[in-house]
Chain A
């Protein structure tokens, strides 16, 4: 009963390096989301996807790219990491039917430090 799985759990990057965070869900959810969590600021939406092959920008999309090539996976990429991207990243997913579409299920997070 995995739910939403994020890999890796921790990562340290140097400024300018690139990396991809992987989110996988096994609930057959249509919608997927990437958030970042910073102290005192709650969670802020980076990008989201309403289905395979579609993505859209959230509140803080700059410096990130995403891809949804398979329904179960949602990738978050940092092409050139900056210290301002040091954060905890959370992936979430939700169903697309009825009121259940309004409930998001979260992964355990990826803690990223950019030096």
Chain B
């Protein structure tokens, strides 16, 4: 079975600083990987996804993520954080076999942005 680990429960950065959120996954085949963001009281919004091809993927709101197969990682980055980026971020791995469509989520990383 697949699993996702987000080692950082809470990260605090200053506005304008760079950001990296870590994600490690376990999956036997080539994974489908996702980053979602959840603002307080809201549902999850897809930031970016990796299915195949270029290992550096660009998403919305200036985020990017790099798939590293050798490290089983899919870390999320942003060069300059804005106060509006404060939210909870979830990494997920997708297992798609036959008719089964299941996402396994990490436990999330809460991002606080200091002015």
Residues of A at the B interface (CB closer than 8 Å) are 4, 31, 33, 40-45, 48, 50, 56, 58-59, 90, 92, 94, 99, 101-109
A91-B112 Cα distance, complex, nearest whole Å = 26
A4 to B42, CA, bound (A): 12
What 1/0 mask marks residues of chain B from 39 to 71 whose CB sits below 8 Å from any chain A CB?
Answer: 001111110010100000000000000000000
Known: A101-B96, A102-B49, A102-B94. A90 touches B43 (CB 8 A): yes
- Chain B residues in contact with chain A, CB under 8 A? 4, 9, 32, 34, 36, 41-46, 49, 51, 90, 94, 96, 99-103, 105-108
Decide if A4 touches B43 in the complex (CB within 8 Å).
yes
Residues of A within 8 A of B46 (CB): 103-105
Chain A residues near B32 (CB, 8 Å)? 102
The 8 closest A-B pairs by CB, nearest first: A42-B105, A106-B43, A106-B44, A43-B105, A108-B43, A42-B107, A50-B99, A102-B32
CA of A5 to CA of B108 in the docked complex: distance in angstroms? 23
Q: Known A90-B44, A103-B49, A106-B43; judge A43-B90 contact (CB<8 A).
A: yes
Count, A-B residue pairs, CB within 8 A: 60
* Distance from B33 Cβ to chain A, minimum over Cβ atoms (Å): 10
Please measure, in the bound complex, the distance between the C-alpha atom of A106 and the C-alpha atom of B46, giving whole angstroms.
Answer: 9
A44 to B99, CA, bound (A): 18
Least CB distance, B35 to chain A, in whole angstroms:
12
| Given A102-B49, A108-B41, 16 additional A-B pairs, CB 8 A | A4-B43, A42-B90, A43-B90, A43-B103, A48-B101, A56-B99, A56-B100, A59-B102, A90-B43, A92-B44, A103-B49, A106-B44, A106-B45, A108-B42, A109-B41, A109-B43
